Amino acid sequence: MAEAKKLRVTQIKSQIGRKYDQGQTLKSLGLGHIGKTHELPDNESVRGMIFKVKHLVEVEEL
């Protein structure tokens, strides 16, 4: 069985001064501080959250 693909998401910019829902999206992704990294499954819901805060995060496929 093939391994499920994962994404490594790293926050590179602050959420201060951004809309409330963008801060909540970062929290849902397991982020919240600059430099924090979290590995997440590669699926549609995670991709949608990343798209919403794409200007605040850096994404790497594993």
**Tens of pLDDT along 18-56?**
999 999 999 999 999 999 999 999 999 999 999 999 999
Strand, helix or coil at 36?
Answer: coil
Instruction: Name beta bridge partners: 59.
Output: 9
Strand, helix or coil at 26?
Answer: helix
Is the pTM above the cut of 0.85?
yes
